[in-house]
Structure 1
């Protein structure tokens, strides 16, 4: 039986509901070796976050959050929790002292913001309110939060005003959160405004690094961001199919693998 922290356990419950429509309390008690009282508390907390529906003896998934397609940030945070934490650590290791970096909005990019402890001097440009607040906790970085229209579902700033500010910011590295990734179709996102600001981020960064868990491979969303050739490196988890690694490296794209086991 695998040991889970409270957050990991609740994330795992959401993952189970991502794979099937319902889960029973008895099943979860056996999986985690915990009492019904603890599992019921987990389900009630996830219900309050609008991440599942409670039923007698268990829970069922909420269809609008199952595939993560432009889901609210609260829901996305629990998808592939372990993988995102590992990806964040590896991505942060690619940063150098004194660099100016762009951190795109997203739950995977948030994990980068949580792993900047070793640095003393960074300039961090972001379009995400929650990431700006997280980076400000270090109390030693220059943090630039873009202004513009707030997308409440993602806590991100988008629109012409944000794009105009970005166009005067030359940056060393961009850490781009990705919703969908296809070698043939490129990188895409459900929201057109997010795609526009992501395109501007890529144009202003010396190096563009896409960070995303392996579930995003071979997917396509509504709004096109960029071709794969426009990305310099990828940070993903160890479940990436070997054939995709070979294809990416053949295109001179660096692939960094994060182990989450």
Structure 2
């Protein structure tokens, strides 16, 4: 394994677990204690993790960090696909749905693009393009506004375009989900646009993989108590699962089963 690949493995392990001991990394990677310590020191110097006594911890994301659509689309791909396929079961022919910007909601758009007589209201440029190029060509209402790094159209123009629109169910993504802060985003203007999407919907279904749990962005746009359905994956910690079961009406864990497609369990 090249040094760069090894450091990438260390970073992935630390980010997934939140922290890792040197001894654990030595055993998992099959390298010396000194090699792991040098790698941790290098990653710490680059600001990718934080070196602590005996190991390393993940760097907490800043509340204003906003990764781009392309960067996020390479993360948690299996989990996002499983979540999207579970959410697609809620979409009936002839329905009018809302799809917010995000990479998991984009996977939902891919999963429903052949549902007949579908009308989609979205502020996501990639979602609109995907549905426009689909064989069935559903009716797509794309809001206007300023384009964010996550390829969302936001701002007063987007909010104005959503006024007077009504959808049966909104499929909503989030930068972070927290017990106290609720659903958050680093972008203040996107938060306001998401609130407008929520106001236009009869029911809200949130799509978020387990890496979003515990993350707090700059601005809250929805409280947990106002979520009708939250679809995530079984990677969420036990305590977080208990909090979500108490906070939302329906919690669904979408699990990707090998060779048989996604399967799910409803919690709570």
> Which bracket does the TM-score occupy, shorter chain normalised?
0.7 to 0.9
1:80 match: 76
Name the CA distance, whole Å, in 2 between partners of 1:61 and 1:108: 29
What CA RMSD, in Å, does the superposition of the two structures yield over aligned residues? Answer: 2.6
3-state SS of the aligned residue for 1:259?
A: strand
Per-residue deviation, 1:135: 1.1
1:140 match: 137
1:176 match: 172
**Structure 2: gaps (5+ residues):** 1-6, 16-28, 30-44, 49-58, 258-268
1:106 match: 102
> Aligned pairs, how many?
210
2:154 match: 158
Paired residue for 2:233, among 223, 237, 240? 237
3-state SS of the aligned residue for 1:114?
A: helix
Paired residue for 2:203, among 188, 203, 207? 207
C-alpha spacing 1:190/1:221, structure 2 compared with 1 (3 Å): same
TM-score by length of 1: 0.73
C-alpha spacing 1:17/1:247, structure 2 compared with 1 (3 Å): closer
C-alpha spacing 1:252/1:234, structure 2 compared with 1 (3 Å): closer
Per-residue deviation, 1:240: 2.0
CA deviation profile, 1:108-127 (whole Å, cap 9, x unmatched): 11100110155111110111
Higher Cα Rg, which structure: 2
Name the CA distance, whole Å, in 1 between partners of 2:247 and 2:214: 17
Name the CA distance, whole Å, in 1 between partners of 2:156 and 2:179: 29
TM-score by length of 2: 0.71
